[in-house]
Chain A
Amino acid sequence: MNKQEQKILFELQKGLPLDKHPYLRVAEKVGCSETDILRFIKNKQDEKIFSRFGLIVMHRNLGYQHNAMVVWNIPDARVDVIANKMAEIKCINLCYRRPRVLPDWPYNLFCMIHAKSRKYVHDTLTNIKTELDISHYPCAVLFSEKAFKQTGAKYVSN
C-alpha cells in the first residue's frame, strides 16, 4: 500500500463527511483530486476489498435484539460443501470457517443470525438442519443480548 492509499483509507475509516461533496472533502485532506478518490473507491469495490459501502446499522436498536452465533463441528472434509450451502440460506447473515480450539471448543463453522425473536432463530435452525441433513453434527447456539462496545475496527494509522 502506498502513502496516498494509506492516507485515503485513514480518512475513509473515520466515516464519510456529511457534506454535499463528501469525496471532495476527503480529497482535500489527503491532498489529491476528487477524481482520485472516486477512482480509488470504485477500484476497491471492484476488487471486493470494500465488502460494503454505505450505512452500517446498530442492529439492536432496529429491533434485531436476538443475535445468535450458531457454531458447528463439521468434519474438515465436508465443512466447505456444507458452508457453501448455508451461505445460500436467506436468514444467515454471516458464515465463516474458524479454527477449533481443542479440547474446549470443538466448533469450526460459525454462522450469525440476527433476529427479532428467539423463536425465529430456533425455527430457522430446525429448518436448516433438516434441509442440509446435518442434525447429527454437534451444534451450539450462543445468544447475545448485551453489547459493551461496538465501533468499527480502525486498521490504518496516519
Chain B
Amino acid sequence: MSQTDDTHLLDDTDKRIINSLQKGFPVCSRPFKKAADEIGTNEDELISRISILLDENFLTRFGPMYDAAEFGGGLTLAAMTVPDDKFDWVSDYLNSVKEVAHNYEREHVLNMWFVLGTEHQDDIDRVIKQIENETGLVVYNMPKLHSFFVNLYLPVD
C-alpha cells in the first residue's frame, strides 16, 4: 500500500473536489452535475477525476458510511501484542480475514490494531476466537460504548 504524501500530484481542481465532497454528496437524479457546478468543473470531468483519485489511492471509498450496529451488524476495535518474529506473518494473516476492515501497526506493547466488521453482532466473538486460535495470541476486544464525535474532515491544501 502506497503511504507517501502524494499531494503534489494533485491540481487545484482535484483539491477542490476532495475538500468539497468529503462534506457530502448531492442526493438527486444528476448528483455529479450538481456537485460539478458547485466545484466549478463539469459532470464528465468530475466523474473521471473521482475514478482516477480512487484508482490512485487518494480515496478509499465513495458512498455512504454507516454504523453497523444500526443494521444488526458488528463492529469493534481490537488489538494484540505480536512478537517481532511473528509480526509479518500475523499481519498477512489478518489481511486475509475478510472481516478485518482495517489493520495497522501502532507504537505500543499492543502493537497490532485492527477493526472488525461483521454482518451479525454475534459473529464478532466467533471471528476473535478464530484469530486467537490461528495466531496463538490474545485479542483485546474494545467495542465502542459511546461515540462523542465523528468529524473526519481532512482538507488538502
A interface residues with partner B (beta carbon < 8 Å): 1, 9, 12-16, 18-24, 34, 38, 41-42, 44-45, 49-65, 69, 80, 83-84, 86-87, 92-99, 101, 104-105, 110, 114, 140, 142-157
CB-nearest residue of chain A to B43? A20
Decide if B103 touches A57 in the complex (CB within 8 Å): no
Is the Cβ of A156 less than 8 Å from the Cβ of B73?
Answer: yes
Interface SS, B side: mixed
Q: Please list 17 pairs of residues, one from A and one from B, whose beta carbons are closer than 8 Å in the complex, sorted by A's number.
A: A15-B54, A55-B18, A55-B50, A55-B62, A56-B22, A61-B57, A93-B150, A93-B152, A96-B148, A104-B109, A144-B105, A144-B107, A144-B113, A148-B104, A150-B60, A151-B101, A155-B119
Contact A153 B63 (CB under 8 A): no
Q: A93 to B43: give the CA distance in the assembly, Å.
A: 31
From residue 21 to 41 of chain B, which have CB atoms closer than 8 A to chain A? 21-25, 27-33
Could you tell me the distance between the alpha carbons of A98 and B141 in the complex, rounded to whole angstroms? 9
The CA of A54 and the CA of B74, in the complex, are separated in Å by: 23
Complex CA gap A61/B58 in Å reads 6
Contacts of A58 in B (CB 8 A): 57-60
Complex: A90 Cα to B113 Cα, angstroms: 25
Instruction: Flag B115-157 by CB within 8 Å of A: 1 or 0 each.
Output: 1111100000000000000000000111111111111111010
* Interface size class, chain B: 35 or more
Chain A residues near B68 (CB-CB < 8 A): 153, 155
* Min CB gap A60→B, angstroms: 5
- The answer to whether B146 and A97 touch across the interface, beta carbons within 8 angstroms, is yes
Minimum distance in angstroms from A150 CB to a CB of chain B? 5
CA–CA, A80 to B153, complex, Å? 23
Query: What separation, in Å, do the CA atoms of A147 and B105 have in the docked complex?
Result: 6
Interface residues of B (CB under 8 A from A): 1-7, 17-18, 21-25, 27-33, 43, 47, 50-51, 53-54, 57-68, 70-73, 75, 77, 79, 91, 94-95, 98, 100-110, 113-119, 140-154, 156
Minimum CB distance partner of B149 in chain A: A87
Contact between chains at A65 and B107 (CB < 8 Å): no
Give Cα A80–Cα B118 distance, bound, in whole angstroms: 28
Establish whether residues B30 and A147, one from each chain, have CB atoms under 8 Å apart when the complex forms: no
Which of B61, B113, B115 is close to A15, meaning CB atoms less than 8 Å apart?
Answer: B61
Most chain A C-beta atoms within 10 Å of own C-beta, residue among B29, B30, B64, B143: B64
Quick one: which of A13, A16, A61, A151 contacts B25, CB cutoff 8 A? A16
